[in-house]
Amino acid sequence: MRVDVVTIFPDYLAPLGLSLIGRAREAGLLDLRVHDLRDWTHDRHRTVDDTPYGGGAGMVMRPEPWGEALDALTPAPGGGAGPRLVVPTPAGRRFDQAMAHELAAEPWLLFACGRYEGIDARVVEEAAGSGRVSRVDEVSLGDYVLNGGEVAVLAVVEAVARLLPGVVGNAESLVEESHAASRHGLLEHPVYTKPAAWRGREVPPVLLSGDHGAVARWRRDEALRRTAARRPDLVARLDPAALDRRDLAV
């Protein structure tokens, strides 16, 4: 998968050189390119922002450098498939695991990181009609406001890249995780490792029993209890067909 990120703070994306994502890049599974928006400015101060029309606090990112950046990074209409453009904004569609899977199926993503009060609204409109991108998504990390799109890109790229084949060593772990489609909305059960007793707290004995059926049942029960206690909204959305008779007793 190819990923381009346009930002005024390229250094913010440095953590994408670390750990599993860094290794995926070294292995050629992820071709990640970070670009400085200011490379598409033409004045001495490399200006990317201006005051908002209509007044009000803060500054808005000017459309010209964004337009030039997106033109430079995408094929001309008719010149081949363009990337899917992802624009982080608190006013976007909420990012979740289903969207991570959707984005992981794309060959090419292009992220546009806003700063200040955001990007001039014409940039997204123009990109959507330009024929240069396959589609445009405005995506929110959650109902809070960050200073810029870079932290959202770190989160989205990490969530997406770990779904690419070969990035996470044991693909089984992706299936068992919270929010995995195979879990039908259940959170993961609590996990434990050695030692069996720590600061007076014992690991649940069933996990030491060697009885795989009992362990599976215990994990399922704990996942149900945990989801009910922490995320009743997820329980309300559970497909009754995904529940067995013993689930209903929990």
Nearer to ligand SAM, 54 or 165 (CB): 54
Residue selected from 100, 113, 133, 224 as contacting ligand SAM according to rule CB under 6 A:
113
Tell whether residue 7 is a contact of ligand SAM (CB under 6 A): no
Give CA angle at 119 (117, 122), nearest 5°: 135
Nearest-approach distance from CB 60 to ligand SAM, in angstroms: 9
Contacts 24+ apart (CB under 8 A), 210-219: 217/246, 218/189, 219/189
Tokens 């990109």 locate to: 127
Nearer to ligand SAM, 110 or 113 (CB): 113
Query: 206: exposed, middle or buried (C-beta count within 10 Å: 0-12, 13-18, 19+)?
Result: middle
Nearest-approach distance from CB 50 to ligand SAM, in angstroms: 15
Tell whether residue 65 is a contact of ligand SAM (CB under 6 A): no
Residue 145 assigned as binding residue: yes
User: Please, are residues 104 and 160 in contact by the beta-carbon 8 Å criterion?
Assistant: yes
Size of the site for ligand SAM (CB under 6 A): 19
How far is CA 157 from each of CA 101, 160, 187, rounded to the nearest angstrom?
A: 11, 5, 22
Distance CA 220, CA 209 (A): 16
Nearer to ligand SAM, 53 or 144 (CB): 144
Single out the segment in contact with ligand SAM by CB under 6 A; choices: 39-47, 107-115, 185-193, 235-243.
Answer: 107-115
Residues numbered 134 to 153 that lie near ligand SAM (CB under 6 A) are 140-142, 144-149, 152
Site string for ligand SAM, 161-200 (x = CB under 6 A): ----------------------------------------
Distance CA 176, CA 183 (A): 7
* Cα–Cα nearest to 27, from 167, 161, 155: 167
Structure tokens at 81: 């498939």
Nearer to ligand SAM, 121 or 229 (CB): 121
Single out the segment in contact with ligand SAM by CB under 6 A; choices: 63-71, 114-122, 224-232, 234-242.
Answer: 114-122
Tell whether residue 57 is a contact of ligand SAM (CB under 6 A): no
Structure tokens at 110: 């292009």
Residue selected from 42, 44, 54, 91 as contacting ligand SAM according to rule CB under 6 A:
91
Cis status of the peptide bond prior to 195, with omega within 30 of 0: yes
Tokens 């997204």 locate to: 124
Distance CA 92, CA 100 (A): 15
The Cβ of residue 144 has, within 10 Å, a number of other Cβ atoms equal to 7
Tell whether residue 86 is a contact of ligand SAM (CB under 6 A): no
Nearest-approach distance from CB 204 to ligand SAM, in angstroms: 37
User: Residues within the annotated binding site for S-adenosyl-L-methionine?
Assistant: 114, 141-146
Applying CB under 6 A, the residues found at the interface with ligand SAM are 88-91, 113-115, 117-118, 140-142, 144-149, 152
